[in-house]
Amino acid sequence: MVTLGFDEIDEIRTFSFVEAQTFLKYEVGPNVEIVIRQAKDLHDYVKGKIEKPSVYAFTAIQSVGKIVLLKGPDLFYFLAFNAEDVSDLTAAFDAFKGDPRRPRREKPAAAAAEKTPAKAKPTGKSNFCTKCGSQIKEGANFCNKCGKKVG
């Protein structure tokens, strides 16, 4: 069993069955880094080398229930829940994020600059994500880097 804390998560998004299929096919599937990281992490997790995998995205997506993306700086989980309503999860996460007493992750300035891509300024119709600045592939419905819905 893997335990995740809200402090590891920056974003929680819910998907319908159709949205999840599209996200997996066009955004997760072609991302070789995610595929490689998941395979390596699952291998290391099963061998007991790491506490939990940083990527878990290829689940048996069901037409019943809700699909949820849990994303953080070192975390990418795309999970199917056997429930139609996951509002308790999203509400608890929103409350946690809004709590001024919660500890904040601090990034060293050099590491933050190295990992954070320069944001592209939106100019009309753009091929760049308005959230993270990554280039969007033509015809894509979601940003390949941050998962934001585009278009």
> Residue 10, SS3?
coil
Total structural domains in the chain?
2
The encoded tokens of residue 112 equal 């933050």
Interval 88-106: pLDDT, tens: 888 888 888 886 665 555 5
95 neighbors 6 (Cβ within 8 angstroms): no
* Domain membership of residue 100 as a residue range: 6-105
Q: What is the mean pLDDT of the chain?
A: 73
69 neighbors 11 (Cβ within 8 angstroms): yes
- Tell whether 99 and 116 lie within a shared domain: no
- Tell whether 73 and 139 lie within a shared domain: no
- Tell whether 99 and 112 lie within a shared domain: no
Interval 30-78: pLDDT, tens: 677 877 888 898 889 889 998 888 887 765 566 667 788 888 888 888 8
- Tell whether 78 and 16 lie within a shared domain: yes
